């Protein structure tokens, strides 16, 4: 009996969960653009058949599937100055999970696993980019996917998740680290935070931004449970082309990449898996051949004895190839796509922390702000007291509005600045009256002096960041400690004026960034014209250049005409969104330099006075400028 009890105790201990590090053996293969295999005979697919296979309805065998090449296979490099992005296309979970409880074990039910995918992608040489190893290495990086309902042998429920970029490629090596972790019974709070992290982690932020620092650090803290199981881990680097052809290396190039995990077992080496696989670039999944046996109907007998045939076949429908294929489901794998050509208007002008200007994912910036607010609360240095919360909440709102550029929230910012100034002045006055000389019992309900000073320094820093030269010195506007404000109106004015200045600066930087994109596209077109590149691709890039120049000049024309109508001569509450004359001269001079560098002597933009600039930015002049630029390529 004692042995039986001991055995049962051991059994339940095992069921309770322990850490398992079983990364398996992981390697990757890649595709090359327009290179496929004929589904009929695995011969090289010709261009006509390949193009035909790009338009095949779901469930039908394609004429061609993409070939999987070794990782060091030559491929056209992504050019310096172009954009680069990384997306997680698909993931298949081939792992069997431990039972979470005895009910799952005795009921013979598959366990629902809590799965987290963490990715660290960055360009070597940029701030914050590093590759780390060791016991804590899998805790680093950004959470890009989380689900608490994953079964063994299923595809994870997502498609084409953004992992990195699109962002300007500076020509350095690309570092990629991927980890899949099964969490061991996370708490409800952890689950909620992981969902926020994965949502925010998929947003498109510059690599060195403060937002990603918060995401990475909070992700590390949440994944600190030592009983979490590591199911998959892989680190790699892609490098720019070398001038030496002596040895092959993995190139920073466009392509679909498949990372496949194989179990490590003692005994004979297992059969190689990639030789039987191809890539379906219309689904992001790996596929393999399907046998006639697998395509047979399944016969099931009902309780009344009636037999019915059910179609559970995983095979594609063969209409014209003589072959059937199915999604590959034998090993855990992930597929990523590295791509160039996604160009964002807001791409290049937010590479520094100082600006904090724009949320790159403008289509869903409201959701991003909410996620960032939820995570930022973890860093709060204030207690949960009502007074401290009111101050901190108001201050956080101001910070988030600055982060929300280029979406104009001037009205909300002005209202929140007034709200913060009034709360701060009122509560500070109470502290001075009740607590500065003789501390009354009620002081324990107020914000502490230490936390007050922390808030004051935080507020000073924020005012200086957005308004380096306010009408009054920041030290006079926000004295430290239990010292009265000179005026709540001074604080409100410094905040509102700062918003106007930083928004105006953001507008200038937006135009400079758009001009830089035009420069990079033009340089790219020159190099393409000098190489043997598909003419259709060059045409596509020329059209992109045309659109970018047109957007730049028409936007500048609208900004200029509106500023004239309003009579703008300085940054104030009505003119802050519009360029000052000196900024218009700066931008047009740089544009004229670009024209000269690319062989376009006329027509140049004349910004010597407002009337001349208005004439230079009329529709017919813009069209003439566009035609002159395109004629050089």
What's the pLDDT score for residue 558?
92
Name the nearest CA neighbour of 315 among 307, 323, 304: 323
Among the residue ranges 281-295, 362-376, 574-588, 593-607, the one predicted with the least confidence is 362-376
Higher pLDDT, 341 or 185: 341
What's the pLDDT score for residue 291?
85
Task: Answer for the pair 85, 128: CB distance below 8 angstroms, yes or no.
Answer: no
What's the pLDDT score for residue 557?
92
For the chain, give every domain's residue range: 263-330, 383-484, 498-631
What's the pLDDT score for residue 105?
41
What's the pLDDT score for residue 510?
86
- Report the share of the chain in percent with pLDDT over 90: 14
> SS3 string of 280-346?
ECCCCEEEEECCHHHHCCEEEECCCCCEEEECCCCCCECCCCCCCEEECCCCCEEEEEEECCCCCCC
Q: Tell me: the pLDDT tens digits for 66-116? A: 989 898 988 889 988 888 999 999 999 886 555 444 444 434 445 677 788
Higher pLDDT, 98 or 283: 283
What's the pLDDT score for residue 356?
24
What's the pLDDT score for residue 258?
93
Task: Answer for the pair 576, 500: CB distance below 8 angstroms, yes or no.
Answer: yes
What's the pLDDT score for residue 188?
53
What's the pLDDT score for residue 36?
86
Angle at 546 between CA 541 and CA 547, to 5 degrees: 100
Rounded average pLDDT over 345-371: 33
Is the pLDDT at 566 greater than 50? The verdict is yes
Rounded average pLDDT over 391-410: 62
Task: Answer for the pair 441, 541: CB distance below 8 angstroms, yes or no.
Answer: no
Name the nearest CA neighbour of 522 among 591, 594, 587: 594
Rounded average pLDDT over 504-525: 86
- What is the average pLDDT score of the chain? 75
Higher pLDDT, 179 or 254: 254
Rounded average pLDDT over 246-254: 90
Is the pLDDT at 255 greater than 60? The verdict is yes
Is the pLDDT at 212 greater than 70? The verdict is no
Rounded average pLDDT over 273-279: 83
Name the nearest CA neighbour of 581 among 610, 548, 621: 610
The packing angle between helices 365-376 and 210-222, to 10°, is 60
Name the nearest CA neighbour of 347 among 77, 78, 83: 83
What's the pLDDT score for residue 257?
95
380 pLDDT band, cuts 50/70/90, is: very low
Tell whether the torsion through CA atoms of 43, 44, 48 and 51 is positive or negative. Answer: positive
What's the pLDDT score for residue 202?
54
Is the pLDDT at 9 greater than 70? The verdict is no
Rounded average pLDDT over 622-632: 88
CB atoms near residue 379 (< 10 Å): 9
381 pLDDT band, cuts 50/70/90, is: very low
The values of phi and psi at residue 459, to 5°, are -70, -40
Name the nearest CA neighbour of 91 among 40, 160, 41: 160
Q: DSSP E strands: which ranges in 393-536? A: none
Is the pLDDT at 593 greater than 80? The verdict is yes
Pairing of strands 229-238, 174-183: antiparallel
392 pLDDT band, cuts 50/70/90, is: low
468 pLDDT band, cuts 50/70/90, is: confident
400 pLDDT band, cuts 50/70/90, is: low
Task: Answer for the pair 256, 30: CB distance below 8 angstroms, yes or no.
Answer: yes
Rounded average pLDDT over 52-77: 88
CA distances to 170, 549, 591 from 152, rounded to whole Å, are 40, 51, 57
What's the pLDDT score for residue 90?
93
What's the pLDDT score for residue 377?
43
């Amino acid at each position: 009996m004692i042995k039986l009890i001991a055995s049962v105790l051991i059994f339940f201990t095992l069921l309770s969960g322990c850490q398992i590090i079983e990364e398996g053996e992981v390697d990757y293969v890649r595709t090359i653009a327009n290179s496929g295999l004929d589904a009929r005979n695995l011969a090289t697919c010709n261009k006509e058949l390949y193009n035909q296979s790009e338009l095949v309805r779901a469930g039908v065998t394609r004429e061609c599937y993409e070939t999987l090449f070794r990782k060091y296979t030559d491929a056209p490099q992504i050019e310096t100055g172009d954009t680069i992005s990384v997306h997680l296309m698909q993931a298949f979970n081939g792992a069997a999970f431990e039972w979470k409880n005895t009910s799952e074990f005795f009921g013979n039910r598959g366990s629902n696993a809590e799965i987290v995918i963490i990715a660290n992608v960055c360009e070597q040489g940029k701030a914050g980019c590093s590759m780390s190893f060791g016991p804590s290495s899998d805790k680093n990086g950004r959470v890009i996917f989380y689900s608490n309902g994953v079964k063994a042998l299923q595809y994870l429920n997502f498609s084409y998740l953004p992992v990195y970029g699109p962002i300007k490629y500076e020509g350095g090596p690309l570092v990629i680290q991927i980890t899949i972790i099964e969490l061991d019974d996370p708490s409800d709070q952890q689950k909620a935070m992981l969902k926020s992290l994965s949502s925010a982690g998929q947003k498109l932020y510059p690599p060195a931004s403060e937002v990603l620092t918060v995401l990475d650090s909070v992700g590390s803290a949440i994944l600190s449970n030592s009983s979490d199981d590591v199911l998959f881990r892989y680190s790699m680097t892609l490098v720019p082309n070398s001038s030496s052809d002596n040895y092959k290396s993995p190139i920073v190039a466009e392509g679909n990449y498949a990372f496949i995990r194989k179990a490590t077992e003692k005994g004979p080496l297992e059969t190689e898996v990639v030789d039987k696989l191809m890539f379906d670039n219309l689904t992001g999944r790996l596929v393999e051949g399907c046998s006639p046996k697998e395509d047979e109907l399944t016969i099931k007998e009902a309780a009344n004895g009636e037999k019915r045939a059910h179609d559970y076949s995983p095979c594609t429908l063969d209409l014209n190839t003589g072959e059937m294929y199915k999604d590959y489901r034998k090993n855990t794998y992930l597929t990523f796509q590295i791509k160039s050509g996604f160009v964002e208007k807001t791409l290049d002008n937010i590479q520094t922390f100082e600006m904090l200007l724009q949320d790159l994912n403008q289509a869903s910036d409201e959701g991003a702000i909410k996620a960032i607010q939820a995570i930022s609360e973890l860093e709060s240095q204030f207690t949960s007291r009502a007074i401290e919360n009111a101050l901190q909440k108001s201050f956080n709102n101001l910070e988030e509005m600055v982060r929300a550029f280029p979406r104009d929230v001037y009205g909300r910012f002005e209202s929140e600045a007034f709200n913060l100034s009034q709360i701060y002045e009122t509560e500070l006055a109470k502290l001075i009256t009740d607590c500065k000389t003789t501390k009354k019992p009620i002081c324990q309900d107020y914000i502490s002096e230490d936390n007050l000073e922390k808030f004051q320094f935080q507020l000073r820093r924020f005012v200086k960041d957005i308004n380096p030269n306010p009408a009054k010195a920041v030290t006079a506007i926000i004295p430290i400690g239990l010292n009265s404000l000179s005026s709540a109106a001074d604080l409100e004015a410094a905040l509102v004026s700062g918003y106007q200045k930083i928004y105006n600066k953001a507008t200038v930087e937006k135009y400079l960034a758009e001009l830089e994109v035009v420069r990079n596209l033009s340089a790219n077109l020159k190099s393409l014209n000098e190489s043997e590149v598909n003419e259709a691709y060059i045409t596509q890039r020329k059209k992109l250049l045309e659109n970018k120049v047109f957007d730049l000049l028409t936007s500048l024309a609208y900004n200029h005409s509106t500023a004239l109508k309003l009579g703008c001569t300085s940054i104030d509450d009505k003119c802050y969104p519009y360029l000052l004359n000196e900024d218009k001269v700066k931008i047009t001079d740089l544009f004229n330099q670009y024209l000269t560098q690319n062989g376009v002597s006329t027509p140049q933009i004349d910004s010597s006075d407002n009337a001349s600039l208005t004439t230079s930015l009329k529709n017919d002049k813009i069209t003439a400028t566009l035609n002159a630029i395109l004629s050089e390529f």
